[in-house]
């Protein structure tokens, strides 16, 4: 977009507000919803936002009713102006339903509505899990032994997820047509990157085609979490008690989750998982726990793909700020990360070729 | 940073007005914020991206186009612009930025062409050399942008932390 064109478009557009979802309205609609599904008048207390993210909005609250007493619950709402809107609640619902009681810890699902019901936006409600969520980019002050315990559980849980036969779960319905699921995912990000934005990155255009043309056959098509990383789980008393954020879950190559989890961005810039587990150790542990042989070539491919996805996500943010006038300065700052991500992507492609 | 200077300034002003001012009851802090908004409005009227790094990128693109033209001699290829594309007297950053963006699109078309079956069948050595040259040149262009990118403050931005030291330049 030229400077003049940008100016003209600014003249006619009202800045978008990051908060399109009214918290008070959500709270009263939530009370109506829980009263209806439980058949018992339910009051919402201690209601508050837990995050100020760009995607699903998370609320923590207590549902109080005569029938069930006080229950600590979590509500997640897919806002109409989120980065990846319009949202489907199905991947998260499938995950919480089919993984409950498996070797993959997830919060218990309480309710979900794709059409929004009383709340008006796609949402689900699940149990609150006690514990802490570690920050992926901070050098944690936890002692290394503690972190090693957590990192090993993190790998073993991933292996448990990949051992599940997706054909026996609702995830099987995520398969779209005859196209290989992993190619479908790449095509989705290529389409996202092809949308008009202020900047065009030649290496992303070319690299997207390379990824599509060189995508390896998976050793086994498994459930892929899609955002499996430090920061997307809850730990309590040295134990991972829940894996979170299943919104990008799909069927695909298990190497995808492994590569994503080991990205230095999510490990305080370290090449070691959680800053403590060497790459070879991670692969060895994963292979033994999952029974899936890790291919160096596939892992290199998915490390490049991880950076491609990261670039595509950043460009969604850039587009939201530049084109859709979504006024959140964090989105503008994400644009400044693009040169370093694209360069890292080029190097990763070189290693994968 | 952002492709549009004015859009970025508008975003900063909106963030201050919508989120900082309503949450500050300290008159001194509010005075500081409104002064910053005033200064930003002034910058919006009088300033722009520095032309230097943009010019450097366009010149690098021009060198790349000339090199590809030589290597692709005799091959059917996407259009390569005549160089230099900037007459000596242009200093308007918006014009240079538009040329840089147009150059990026043309480099992308050439890279897709050079790595495609057609070019490889016509002259595999030249196609491989052009692909290498283009990838290297595009990375060199990214280095110019990185030189004007401040140190990451991801931790502070994500957590809204007060401590931890602001990133320098």
**pLDDT tens, position by position, A67-116:** 999 999 999 999 887 778 888 999 999 999 999 989 899 999 999 999 98
What's the pLDDT at A55? 82
Q: Residue A128: what are its φ and ψ, rounded to 5°? A: -80, 135
Same domain, B138 and B59: yes
Give the class (CATH, top level) of A144-352.
alpha beta
Cβ proximity of B134 and B114 under 8 Å: yes
CB contact under 8 A, A329 and B15: yes
pLDDT, residue B2, reads 52
β-sheet bridge partners, residue A233? A243
B14 and A15 in contact by Cβ < 8 A? Answer: yes
Q: Interface pTM (ipTM) of the complex?
A: 0.82
Same domain, B55 and B43: no
Do B56 and B43 share a structural domain?
Answer: no
pTM of the predicted model over 0.90: no
Domain for residue B102, yes or no? yes
pLDDT tens by residue, A37-58: 999 999 999 999 886 667 888 9
User: By the CB < 8 Å criterion, does A203 face chain B?
Assistant: yes
Taking the Cβ of residue A214 and every Cβ of chain B, the question of whether any pair is shorter than 8 Å is answered with: no
Domain contains B113: yes
Q: Is residue B151 within 8 Å of residue B164, measured between CB atoms?
A: no
Q: How far apart are CA A201 and CA A342, in angstroms?
A: 8
Together in a domain, B63 and B43: no
B105 and B24 within one domain = no
Q: Is residue B169 situated within a structural domain?
A: no
Give per-residue burial for A168-199: e unless 16+ CB within 10 Å, then b: ebebeebbeeeebbbebbbeebbebbeeebbb
Residue bearing tokens 């919104």:
A247
Report the domain count for chain B: 2
Better-scored residue on pLDDT, A182 or B90: A182
In tens, the pLDDT along A210-229 reads 999 999 999 999 999 999 99
Residues A341 and A306: their CA atoms lie apart, in Å, by 10
Shared-domain flag, residues B142 and B106:
yes
Given a cut of 70, whether residue A301 has pLDDT beyond it is yes
Distance between CA atoms of A23 and A30, rounded to whole angstroms?
A: 10
Contact A52, B159 (CB under 8 A): no
Residues B60 and B128 in one domain: yes
| Mean confidence (pLDDT) of chain A | 88
Find the mean pLDDT for residues B111-134: 96
Residue B38 inside a domain? The answer is: yes
Residue B25: which of B14, B33, B35, B37 has the closest Cα? B33
Residue B40 lies in a domain: yes
The minimum CA-CA distance between A136 and chain B, rounded to whole Å, is 9
Residues B89 and B141 in one domain: yes
Is the CATH code 3.30.200.20 the one for domain A23-127? yes
On whether residue B168 sits in a domain, the answer given is no
Q: What DSSP string describes chain B?
A: --S-HHHHHHHHHHHIIIIIGGG---HHHHHHHHHHHHHHHHHHHH----HHHHHHHHHHHHHHHHHHHHHTTTS--S----S--S-TT---HHHHHHHHHHHHHHHHHHHHHHTSHHHHHH-HHHHHHHHHHHHHHHHHHHHHHHTTSPPP-HHHHHHT-SSS-PPP-
Indicate the domain borders of chain A.
23-127, 144-352
In a domain, B63, yes or no: yes
B17 and B80 co-located in one domain? no
Q: Are residues B56 and B81 in the same domain?
A: yes
Where residue B168 falls among pLDDT bands split at 50, 70, 90? very low
Judged by CB atoms closer than 8 Å, whether chains meet at A206 and B115 is answered as: yes
Q: Are residues B126 and B55 in the same domain?
A: yes
Dist CA B118 CA B27 (whole Å): 68
DSSP A117: T
pLDDT at A4: 37
The answer on B123 and B98 residing in a single domain is yes
For residue B83, what are the domain limits?
51-146
């Amino acid at each position: 977009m030229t400077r003049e064109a940008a100016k003209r478009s600014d003249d006619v557009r009202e800045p978008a507000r990051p908060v399109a979802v009214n918290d008070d309205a959500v709270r009263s609609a939530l009370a109506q919803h829980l009263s209806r599904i439980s058949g018992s008048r339910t009051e919402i207390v201690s209601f508050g936002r837990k995050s100020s993210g760009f995607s699903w909005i998370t609320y923590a609250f207590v549902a109080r009713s005569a029938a069930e007493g006080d229950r600590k619950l979590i509500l997640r709402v897919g806002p109409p102006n989120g980065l990846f809107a319009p949202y489907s609640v199905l991947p998260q619902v499938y995950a919480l339903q089919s993984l409950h009681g498996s070797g993959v810890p997830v919060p218990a699902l309480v309710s979900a509505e794709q059409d929004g019901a009383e709340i008006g936006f796609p949402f689900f409600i699940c149990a609150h899990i006690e514990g802490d969520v570690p920050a992926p980019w901070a050098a944690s002050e936890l002692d290394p032994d503690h972190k090693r315990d957590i990192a090993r559980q993190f790998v073993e849980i991933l292996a448990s997820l990949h051992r599940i036969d997706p054909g026996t779960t609702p995830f099987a319905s995520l398969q779209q047509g005859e196209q290989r699921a992993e190619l479908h995912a790449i095509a989705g990000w290529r389409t996202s990157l092809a949308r008009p934005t202020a900047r065009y990155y030649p290496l992303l255009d070319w690299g997207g085609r390379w990824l599509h043309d060189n995508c390896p056959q998976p050793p086994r098509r498994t459930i892929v979490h899609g955002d499996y990383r430090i920061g997307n789980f809850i730990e309590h008393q040295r134990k991972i008690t829940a894996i979170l954020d299943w919104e990008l879950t799909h069927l695909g190559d298990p190497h995808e989750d492994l590569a994503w989890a080991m990205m230095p961005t999510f490990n305080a810039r370290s090449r070691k998982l959680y800053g403590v587990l060497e790459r070879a150790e991670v692969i060895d542990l994963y292979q033994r726990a999952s029974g899936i042989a890790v291919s160096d070539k596939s892992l290199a491919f998915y490390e490049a793909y991880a950076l491609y996805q990261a670039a595509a996500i950043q460009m969604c943010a850039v587009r939201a700020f530049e084109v859709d006038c979504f006024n959140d300065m964090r989105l503008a700052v994400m644009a400044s990360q693009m040169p370093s991500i694209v360069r890292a992507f080029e190097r990763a492609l070189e290693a994968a070729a | 940073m952002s492709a549009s200077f004015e859009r970025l300034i508008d975003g900063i002003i909106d963030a201050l007005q919508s989120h900082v001012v309503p949450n500050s009851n300290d008159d001194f802090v509010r005075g500081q914020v409104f002064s910053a908004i005033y200064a930003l409005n002034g910058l919006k009227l009088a300033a722009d991206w520095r032309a230097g790094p943009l010019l450097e990128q366009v010149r690098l693109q021009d060198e790349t186009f000339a090199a590809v033209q030589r290597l692709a001699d005799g091959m059917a290829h996407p259009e390569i612009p005549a160089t230099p594309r900037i007459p000596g007297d242009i200093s308007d950053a918006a014009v240079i930025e538009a040329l840089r963006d147009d150059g990026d699109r043309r480099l992308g078309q050439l890279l897709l062409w050079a790595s495609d079956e057609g070019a490889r069948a016509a002259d595999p050595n030249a196609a491989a050399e052009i692909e290498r040259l283009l990838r290297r040149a595009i990375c060199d262009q990214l280095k110019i942008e990185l030189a004007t990118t401040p140190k990451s403050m991801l931790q502070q931005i994500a957590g809204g932390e007060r401590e931890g030291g602001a990133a320098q330049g």
